[in-house]
Structure 1
């Protein structure tokens, strides 16, 4: 009976010990991915907004010129 209990406690404790570092690594990677994502997407969004405003400004100039 004691051997069976020891095997169960080992089997129960091992996955918990393995899962915790994986969760920490995932959280660190997700933070890195978010920072990379924002560093790439923010300039693109700003450029896109800038292009939209320039297009609107050019259309208004054409309307004024016409």
Structure 2
């Protein structure tokens, strides 16, 4: 599946319970993704489930509010 260029990525240290990480690794392998890609996909799914949309490449530094 082709992915659009997402621009520069930010790093974030993440501590996970070993059992949770093992489950994510199994799911990533089943879906042929990297663990990092799987975590990102799960986070996006969780946000959508809560009604929070995130556009690909959206950045914290993006201006908020109404456009000029």
Q: How high is the TM-score relative to the length of structure 1? A: 0.27
> Which has the higher relative contact order, 1 or 2, with Cα contacts under 8 A spaced 6 or more apart?
2
Rg larger for: 1
Q: How high is the TM-score relative to the length of structure 2? A: 0.27
